[in-house]
Amino acid sequence: MEGAGEVGGAPEASGTAPVSSGELFRSRFGGEPDGVWLAPGRANLMGEHTDYNDGYVLPFALGQGVTAAAAGRPGPGSRQLTLCSRQEPAATVQIALDGLAPGQVTGWAAYPAGVAWALEAAGYPVPGACIAIDSDLPAGAGLSSSAALECATALALTGLAQTGLAQTGLAGQAIPRRELAAIARRAENEFVGVPTGIMDQSASLLSQAGHALLLDCRSLDTSQVPFDPAAAEATLLLINTRAKHELSDGEYGQRRAECEEAARRLGVSSLRSLTTPAEADKLADPVLRRRARHVVADNQRVLDVVALLSAPLAPSGQHSPVDIYRDIGQLLTESHASLRDDFEISWPEADATVEAALAAGAFGARMMGGGFGGSVLALVPATAAGPVRDAVTAAFARHAWTPPEFLDAVPSASARRLALAPGPRAQGDMVAPDHRAGLSRRAQPEARRPEEETVPVRDEAAKLAGEIAELRHAIHREPEIGLDLPKTQAKVLDALSGLPLEISTGQALSSVTAVLRGGRRSGAGPVVLLRGDMDALPVTEETGLPYASAVPGAMHACGHDLHTAMLAGAAKLLCARQADLPGTVIFMFQPGEEGYAGARHMISEGVLDAAGQRPVAAYALHVTSNKLPCGMFSTRPGPMLAAADQIRVTVHGRGGHASQPHRAADPIPVAAEMVLAFQTLVTRKFDVFDPIVITVGSFHAGTTDNVIPDRARFLATARSYSAASRASLAELVPRLIKGIALSHGLHADVEYAAEYPVTVNDAAEAAFATATIADAFGPGRGETAEFPITGAEDFSFVLNEVPGAFVFLGACPPDRDPESAPTNHSALALFDDAALAEGTALYAELALRRLAQG
Ligand code: GLA
């Protein structure tokens, strides 16, 4: 393990009886733990020392990790953490939580103590607890055992906190994993005192089995990159060189300081801003130049590896999986050279390992992690794994070094609570049996860990995926705008025909309302509403899709075609479970979301009362063609989207000759003054923490240069996030406009037209949606959005009446970068069909689980 506080010396691979943290817990503390949490170590495919430079990294979670068996300590005097570790047999460490501060705890216990401190500093009270730690990560091998220890502790403490809600005040809200990663990193940076980046904690908390995690350390956006070397008959070998890796010895901090100095001298905020090695070459200092060159090149290599892993295979086999892995191997070797020569952090055992592995047929190899010790990652054809092992072992023997240790590196799932092991549970063993097998230092295939139960809803949705996509494509081909969408309505009615639904259609608009009454409580259960909007935009499509819009000037550029198809899919899925459904579901298929307030019309036509009783909750999904990777959900408690109102102004002056403005009353400078005054209004009259956006998007006056016109007109949009600010806008904007006109002796008509209210997610419903996503889709699939979105939504009218949540779903095609992909409403926006089954499943899961809650 990295850093000053390693979790003990490396237990020997053989000859040591495997002891689980559950057993350790019982033997040290007596009694049963409340649970056992596992956090994996990580390997890093590409991107070394790029994380603290705001760059890219591509790590993956290992099968090996740290387990924490823990139990809360209720009662008075309970604000103590009592820690023990199998790798530190002598010591049981007692830490008082009250008054805990950096510097008070040293050695391995500083990591868990630091996590408790950072959790409390972030406003998450920590309960007193007894925690027993075990690890099958070799210490000092650069596999991030310190981050794994932090993350296992963080999950255990927050898991425990959730069991004692009243005491902890956590209100049952799971801490988003991204935030937990930041908390664990803070523990390491500020409590332990090692200035690491965010890569290791993110890998442990956000990875997915079978994937590498692309993390942009500047935006903290992540995407899962499928990574399955076995499919190309390749093997990843982790070779522990046995040269102990330490982060706390100063070299790591020195490299970081050098990078920061290089950025400073180049006048950029971080080395991420450099895109070519030539920019690094501007540095006069040769050392700083080399450091910067490595960072630029390794950032690019991360993107190159991601591109290779995402590249479609050429049909004739010119670019076969083997070619891809050979190219990735080449990049690994280049990265090693850069780390050795430019960053100067390699060590003799690593150089010898890389050399021997390449000579024995590896596709490529490189040192991994912080440097000066630890492991090498080699990518080898499966047939060459044996020869590579032999060659490296022989090289070590020639130098009389301690023989290397070989570990399999299987891209595995992120940190999680382990399920109770069957059988031994009678004796209270809570650690998965195959995790114990992991003590032999061989990663186990992910499927063999007994963990979360499989959720059939997702499988059922996946089976419907083809059908849902077909409906989506049909809707996409024939887009309709506004409140009257007869063709779309017909397609929806067709998709729902034959299902056990009560269907009604709208009067003033072509809506469809479908009610499904469950059989379990014969009409007595609660009602949940699911909304999907159906309308398109006045955009001429330029995507070139095979099912692109056949209607010039109309396009499903906001993905409502996906919403409609997913909601129809969810209706089908839920109808199949009608007999077991403990309540009623209203499916709201809504026209006119794009500026026509279709939801308000449907409410006035009675959609909220369609089941005979008001819904207890309402949910809507919205896809996005950029920002979120495909399949990622995002929501937040409180304001989710802005209120959007329109300001319409006409300034009345008196026209005349442009050469004699004093004989006319020129409306143009007065209107221009109003445009600028809006920005002063925004900053001087509104709380910066309750923001406002006013944008004048249309300004018209006059006909030519030498005539002063009679009038100037402009339109502005006003966005706000609270009812109070919105009300102030409605009052202050007309006053400002009138006042400016008057002060120039002119007159202005001003209209503040209220359009869509703020879309406010109910805190409990947003937490419920977040928990449903985590439980149904596994870790790393949902994020809590840090900020609301400045767009607006007419689902706000529904949420004004019924508590609920609005959830975004990433649908960016995997070959596009979510950061730069064309946005919703663009003629080029693409939404991937892969999101369809996921959205369908979430709609169904939200209804099923919410109805079950009552
Ligand atoms: C250590 C740190 C990481 C990262 C790597 C080098 O593992 O913990 O944050 O900087 O070194 O890539």
Q: What is the pLDDT of residue 32?
A: 81
Q: Ligand 1 centroid to 200 CA: how many Å?
A: 7
Does the pLDDT at position 265 exceed 60? yes
**Residue 48 Cα: closest atom of ligand 1:** 12
Q: Ligand 1 centroid to 448 CA: how many Å?
A: 29
3-state secondary structure string across 164-222: CHHHHCCCCCCCCHHHHHHHHHHHHHHHHCCCCCCHHHHHHHHCCCCEEEEEECCCCCE
Read off the pLDDT band of 248 (50, 70, 90): low
In sign, the C-alpha dihedral spanning 651, 657, 659, 665 is negative
The residue behind tokens 């009675």 is: 606
8 Å CB contact between 188 and 196: yes
Tell me, using a 6 A CB cutoff, whether residue 52 lines ligand 1. Answer: yes
Tell me, using a 6 A CB cutoff, whether residue 197 lines ligand 1. Answer: yes
Ligand 1 test: best mutation among 196, 213, 245, most atoms within 8 Å of CB?
196
Does the pLDDT at position 9 exceed 80? no
Regarding predicted confidence, which is higher, 447 or 197? Answer: 197
The residue annotated as part of the active site, out of 200, 221, 298, 561, is: 200
Number of other residues whose CB lies within 10 A of the CB of residue 457: 21
Q: What is the pLDDT of residue 524?
A: 75
In sign, the C-alpha dihedral spanning 515, 518, 523, 527 is negative
Q: Which residue type, as a one-letter code, is found at position 262?
A: A
> For strand 643-652 and strand 711-720, is the pairing parallel, antiparallel, or unpaired?
antiparallel
Q: Which of 131-145, 153-167, 490-504, 608-622 has the lowest mean pLDDT?
A: 153-167
3-state secondary structure string across 587-604: EEEECCCCCCCHHHHHHH
8 Å CB contact between 118 and 191: yes
Q: Ligand 1 centroid to 145 CA: how many Å?
A: 12
Span 193-220, average pLDDT: 94
Tell me, using a 6 A CB cutoff, whether residue 208 lines ligand 1. Answer: no
* C-alpha distances out from residue 371 to 149, 266, 304, 375, Å: 20, 25, 23, 9
Alpha carbons 146 and 112: distance in angstroms, whole number: 9
Token pair of 342 as six digits:
């430019």
**Residue 198 Cα: closest atom of ligand 1:** 9
pTM for the whole thing?
Answer: 0.53
Q: Ligand 1 centroid to 10 CA: how many Å?
A: 20
Q: Which of 164-173, 368-377, 469-478 has the lowest mean pLDDT?
A: 164-173
8 Å CB contact between 706 and 657: yes
Percentage of the chain modeled with pLDDT above 90 = 76
* C-alpha distances out from residue 154 to 168, 195, 288, 851, Å: 15, 19, 37, 31
Q: What is the pLDDT of residue 159?
A: 74
Does the pLDDT at position 72 exceed 50? yes
Q: Which of 46-50, 166-170, 180-184, 710-714 has the lowest mean pLDDT?
A: 166-170
Span 168-192, average pLDDT: 77
Tell me, using a 6 A CB cutoff, whether residue 372 lines ligand 1. Answer: no
Span 305-326, average pLDDT: 79
Q: What is the pLDDT of residue 17?
A: 30
Alpha carbons 795 and 593: distance in angstroms, whole number: 8
Percentage of the chain modeled with pLDDT above 70 = 89
8 Å CB contact between 674 and 648: no
Does the pLDDT at position 367 exceed 90? yes
Give the residue whose CA is nearest to atom 8 of ligand 1.
Answer: 196
Regarding predicted confidence, which is higher, 106 or 353? Answer: 353
Q: What is the pLDDT of residue 854?
A: 78
Q: Which of 35-39, 214-218, 287-291, 661-665 has the lowest mean pLDDT?
A: 35-39
**Residue 50 Cα: closest atom of ligand 1:** 12
Tell me, using a 6 A CB cutoff, whether residue 793 lines ligand 1. Answer: no
> For strand 617-629 and strand 638-641, is the pairing parallel, antiparallel, or unpaired?
unpaired
Q: Describe the chain by its helix, strand, coil percentages, rounded to 5.
A: 40, 20, 40
Exposed (0-12), middle (13-18) or buried (19+): which is 316, by Cβ within 10 Å?
exposed
Ligand 1 test: best mutation among 60, 111, 199, 367, most atoms within 8 Å of CB?
199
Burial 553-567 (b: 16+ CB within 10 A, else e): ebbbbbbbbbbbbbb
Read off the pLDDT band of 177 (50, 70, 90): confident
Beta partners for residue 548, in sequence order:
none
Tell me, using a 6 A CB cutoff, whether residue 42 lines ligand 1. Answer: no
Closest C-alpha to 376, from 776, 707, 48: 48
pLDDT tens, residue by residue, 326-343: 999 999 999 999 999 999
Residue 93: in which H helix or E strand, if any? strand 88-96
Q: What is the pLDDT of residue 432?
A: 28
Ligand 1 test: best mutation among 51, 202, 336, most atoms within 8 Å of CB?
51
Read off the pLDDT band of 171 (50, 70, 90): very low
Alpha carbons 238 and 147: distance in angstroms, whole number: 18
8 Å CB contact between 146 and 5: yes
Q: What is the pLDDT of residue 74?
A: 66
**Residue 49 Cα: closest atom of ligand 1:** 12
**Residue 256 Cα: closest atom of ligand 1:** 10
In a 13 Å sphere around the CA of 327, the CA atoms on its Cβ side amount to 16
**Residue 52 Cα: closest atom of ligand 1:** 10
CA angle 350, 296, 332 (to 5 degrees): 35
Tell me, using a 6 A CB cutoff, whether residue 298 lines ligand 1. Answer: no
3-state secondary structure of 580: helix
Does the pLDDT at position 434 exceed 50? no
Closest C-alpha to 789, from 480, 558, 479, 534: 558
Does the pLDDT at position 77 exceed 70? no
Tell me, using a 6 A CB cutoff, whether residue 246 lines ligand 1. Answer: no
Alpha carbons 565 and 839: distance in angstroms, whole number: 10
Tell me, using a 6 A CB cutoff, whether residue 196 lines ligand 1. Answer: yes
Q: Which of 454-463, 471-480, 633-642, 686-695 has the lowest mean pLDDT?
A: 454-463
Exposed (0-12), middle (13-18) or buried (19+): which is 641, by Cβ within 10 Å?
buried
Read off the pLDDT band of 18 (50, 70, 90): very low
Average predicted confidence (pLDDT) for the chain:
88
Closest C-alpha to 844, from 570, 632, 434, 545: 570
Does the pLDDT at position 583 exceed 60? yes
Regarding predicted confidence, which is higher, 75 or 655? Answer: 655
Q: Which residue type, as a one-letter code, is found at position 548?
A: A
Beta partners for residue 95, in sequence order:
81
Number of helices (H), then strands (E), in the chain: 22, 29
**Residue 197 Cα: closest atom of ligand 1:** 9
Span 119-133, average pLDDT: 90
The residue behind tokens 């190899």 is: 365
Span 390-404, average pLDDT: 94
Tell me, using a 6 A CB cutoff, whether residue 35 lines ligand 1. Answer: no
Read off the pLDDT band of 450 (50, 70, 90): very low
pLDDT tens, residue by residue, 767-781: 999 999 998 998 889
Residue 134: in which H helix or E strand, if any? strand 129-135
Alpha carbons 573 and 468: distance in angstroms, whole number: 11
Closest C-alpha to 57, from 294, 271, 301: 301
For 349-456, where are the E strands, in sequence order? 364-367, 375-381, 405-408, 416-417
Regarding predicted confidence, which is higher, 7 or 725? Answer: 725
Most confident of 8-17, 26-35, 655-664: 655-664
> For strand 656-657 and strand 707-708, is the pairing parallel, antiparallel, or unpaired?
antiparallel
Span 714-730, average pLDDT: 95
Alpha carbons 423 and 85: distance in angstroms, whole number: 25
Q: What is the pLDDT of residue 230?
A: 83
Q: Ligand 1 centroid to 330 CA: how many Å?
A: 22
Q: Ligand 1 centroid to 814 CA: how many Å?
A: 27
Ligand 1 test: best mutation among 2, 46, 49, most atoms within 8 Å of CB?
49
Tell me, using a 6 A CB cutoff, whether residue 757 lines ligand 1. Answer: no
Ligand 1 test: best mutation among 52, 56, 200, most atoms within 8 Å of CB?
200
Q: Which residues contact 117 (CB under 8 A, 6 or more apart)?
A: 100, 101, 102, 187, 191
Does the pLDDT at position 236 exceed 50? yes
Q: What is the pLDDT of residue 168?
A: 30
Q: What is the pLDDT of residue 453?
A: 34
Give the residue whose CA is nearest to atom 2 of ligand 1.
Answer: 196
Q: What is the pLDDT of residue 419?
A: 55
Read off the pLDDT band of 491 (50, 70, 90): very high
Tell me, yes or no, if 200 is annotated catalytic.
Answer: yes
Span 132-161, average pLDDT: 89
Alpha carbons 670 and 745: distance in angstroms, whole number: 10
The residue behind tokens 């399920």 is: 419
Read off the pLDDT band of 384 (50, 70, 90): very high
DSSP state of 536: -
Does the pLDDT at position 100 exceed 90? yes
* C-alpha distances out from residue 80 to 88, 360, 592, Å: 20, 54, 57
Read off the pLDDT band of 428 (50, 70, 90): very low
8 Å CB contact between 607 and 505: no
Residue 727: in which H helix or E strand, if any? helix 723-743
8 Å CB contact between 187 and 98: no
Q: Compute φ and ψ for 191, nearest 5 degrees.
A: -90, -50
Span 526-550, average pLDDT: 96
Closest C-alpha to 621, from 851, 852, 846: 846
Q: What is the pLDDT of residue 523?
A: 62
Q: Which residues contact 237 (CB under 8 A, 6 or more apart)?
A: 357, 377, 378, 379, 380, 385, 388, 389, 406, 407, 408, 409
Token pair of 782 as six digits:
């949902």
Q: Which of 73-82, 371-380, 399-408, 467-476 has the lowest mean pLDDT?
A: 73-82
Q: What is the pLDDT of residue 580?
A: 86
Span 102-131, average pLDDT: 92
8 Å CB contact between 631 and 818: no
Alpha carbons 271 and 264: distance in angstroms, whole number: 9
Token pair of 377 as six digits:
């990652």
Q: What is the pLDDT of residue 310?
A: 87
